[in-house]
Amino acid sequence: MLTKMIPEIGHFALVIALLMAFFQAVMPLAGAATRRPLWMAFARPMAAGQFLFVAVAYLCLTTSYMLDDFSVATVANNSNSMLPWYYKFSAVWGNHEGSVLLWSLILAGWTFAVSRFSRNLPEDMISRVLGVMGMVSSGFLLFVLVTSNPFERLLPVIPQDGADLNPLLQDFGLIIHPPMLYMGYVGFSVVFAFAIAALLGGRLDAAWTRWARPWTNIAWAFLTVGIALGSWWAYYELGWGGWWFWDPVENASLLPWLAGTALLHSLAVTEKRGSFKSWTVLLAILTFSLSLLGTFLVRSGVLTSVHAFANDPSRGLFILALLGVTVGLSLLVFALRAPRVSHTVAFSWVSRDALLLVNNILLVIMTVTVLLGTVYPLLLDALGLGKISVGPPYFNALFVPLTVILCVFMGLGPSARWKHMSARELFRRLGLASLAALIIGMFVPLAYGGEWNLWVSLGLVAALWIVLPMVRDLFEKIRRAGSLGDGLRKLSLAYWGMVLGHLGVAVTIIGVAVVSNYNVERNVRLAPGDSVQVAGYTFTMNELQSRRGPNYLSDMAFIEVSRDGSSRSFTMVPEKRLYIARGMPMTQVALRPGLFRDLYVAMGEDLGDGAWAMRIQYKPFVRWLWLGALLMAAGGVMAVIDRRYRLKRHQQVPLPASSTREVPV
């Protein structure tokens, strides 16, 4: 009896959560405006209650999936009794309704975390922050309940079995990709809330940036990992060996990442130097707005994409209204409350301040470039100028050069001093390392297969340009400290975070440059006994086999691979699956990963007579793409660990915000 009621319990919990979110939004904001401590005191309990009830609702939905309750429409449409339990678990967010619920759960979770970990914030500040987050929560919970109720029932005729989860989504990468991505998207709501709270309270000092920085770093790290996972998933799951398609949905995740990256740096400048105040607030609003815009683009059906959700115009309108209210209001607050007089903090054109300003401008240009390319088809269509689609050529032509320019400044930034330094001093610090980067970068590709390639060289130069000056800087710091041990101890975790983050960018750039240019691909026909050579490897098909999986049938090829001139060999097993419930064929790629190259075999069509079409690829350095992203994320997290420590110290010995000590960003 009780198990039959689970969906209703979930639905009811969601309604309670909405009410709590509403109170969490209204009372503390009103209280902060009228200075009533009692009203402000609503913030924390409501945040905790809201989180609890959204969690209950989410748990109920998950239980419905686990118990195969096909009377619930989303379960019937996205699950199947044959589905393994872990895919039932992840099927919850493999569809529109469940994924907005996950979005709300994560938002409530971040809100709760902020309320727990901000014990020593001024009461009016935390009230405003939680109030703003409560408003966003209210909007999303209302959206879930009104347009996308995941607990909708199919009564009285209950389907015998479910339609199954889309086979593309039955995969480990997809179990963790959306939660990571949402952690990032939604995490930016924290810095957004801090920025709005600072605007509302009229306290645009360095304080709010100090509080918001750790949250921003963590959200950014999650988003970085989320994007990398998405790219990795596309690489091994879609069977083409591509890792980035400039698809609108991918762009939707890249936009807040680019803006968020600018924000990370701008927050640092505001905290350390007290400059760029309005700009940082605007970036905070922009970053979260782009997260919301991404949500709108993916779910409203205004753009065509390979992985957009099933669409419904009423949902699109609702999210647009939500977007309009959230972003419109916050930009209005910004226009009205941003400081009237800009407090310019003087810095010269050769200084870390200036370099970070250039970094910000470039990142914003990149954001706008991607945004334009993404919505351009929509603009043209809306103006009646026809339907077009903007493809990779546009993005590559603009994004690649912009990245190279960004790298030029990235290489200079960490070695520069705040406020002012002479150009000669900067050159003394960097000259040798940069020259080495240029020379090594230009000539190393020659050693690789003897075929010089402009793009590979450019990528290597850019990467080394970032890394070598950092290495020099590190040596310099250790040398100054006297001994290696002292030097390493003196360097803060925030500094290491910066080094790791920048190193990550360099690693990713190397990966992109090499795999894009030295990739080898062959399409061949293979029957048992046939062999073929690709990029110095011999692929021999030994046998074909058929087998039956839990919810699919599959054909497998056993391919023996050996490197030319080596007697060791290994077996790769690509698969072609037919998922029974949907009758959908899927390619299961065989991968032989390696730090310096991947071998990639995808099974194509059955050509009859035991022969199959095979797509064999040799992908050098492809792992570096994701390795770099992991390094970046690790850097972001490492800087946070350090900040905790420093926050405590700050309380004991408050330092002036405009301290000119050389502190790493």
Query: Binding residues for another protein, per CB under 8 A?
Result: 240, 278, 282, 285-286, 289, 296, 300-304, 313, 316-317, 320, 323-324, 327-328, 331-332, 334-335, 338, 340-342, 375, 377-379, 381-382, 387-389, 391, 523, 525, 585, 604-605, 607-609, 613, 615
Q: Output 564 or 609, the one with its CB closest to another protein.
A: 609
The residue to which tokens 């339990």 are assigned: 85
- How far apart are the C-alpha atoms of 352 and 275, rounded to whole Å? 12
Q: For the chain, first and last CA: distance in Å?
A: 58
Q: Output 248 or 413, the one with its CB closest to another protein.
A: 248
For the chain, the C-alpha Rg in angstroms (whole number) is 27
CB of 391 to another protein, least distance (A): 7
CB of 38 to another protein, least distance (A): 34
Q: Output 1 or 335, the one with its CB closest to another protein.
A: 335
CB of 297 to another protein, least distance (A): 8
CB of 611 to another protein, least distance (A): 8
- How far apart are the C-alpha atoms of 433 and 375, rounded to whole Å? 41
- How far apart are the C-alpha atoms of 125 and 120, rounded to whole Å? 10
Q: Output 412 or 589, the one with its CB closest to another protein.
A: 589
Q: Output 74 or 374, the one with its CB closest to another protein.
A: 374
**Cα 418 → chain centroid:** 30
Q: Output 248 or 414, the one with its CB closest to another protein.
A: 248
CB of 304 to another protein, least distance (A): 5
CB of 377 to another protein, least distance (A): 7
CB of 383 to another protein, least distance (A): 8
CA count, 13 A, side-chain hemisphere, 26: 8
SS3 588: strand
Q: Give residues with Cβ within 8 angstroms of 606, minimum separation 6.
A: 555, 576, 612
Q: Output 316 or 549, the one with its CB closest to another protein.
A: 316
CB of 561 to another protein, least distance (A): 20
Tell me which H or E stretch contains 416: none
CB of 118 to another protein, least distance (A): 28
- How far apart are the C-alpha atoms of 167 and 576, rounded to whole Å? 12
Within 10 A of 215 (CB to CB), how many other CB atoms are there?
Answer: 23
Q: Report whether 612 contacts 604 (CB < 8 A).
A: yes
Q: Give residues with Cβ within 8 angstroms of 450, minimum separation 6.
A: none
> What is the DSSP annotation of 106-126?
HHHHHHHHHHHH-TTS-HHHH
Q: Output 605 or 662, the one with its CB closest to another protein.
A: 605
Q: Report whether 237 contacts 243 (CB < 8 A).
A: no
E-only strand ranges, 53-196: none
Q: Output 286 or 412, the one with its CB closest to another protein.
A: 286
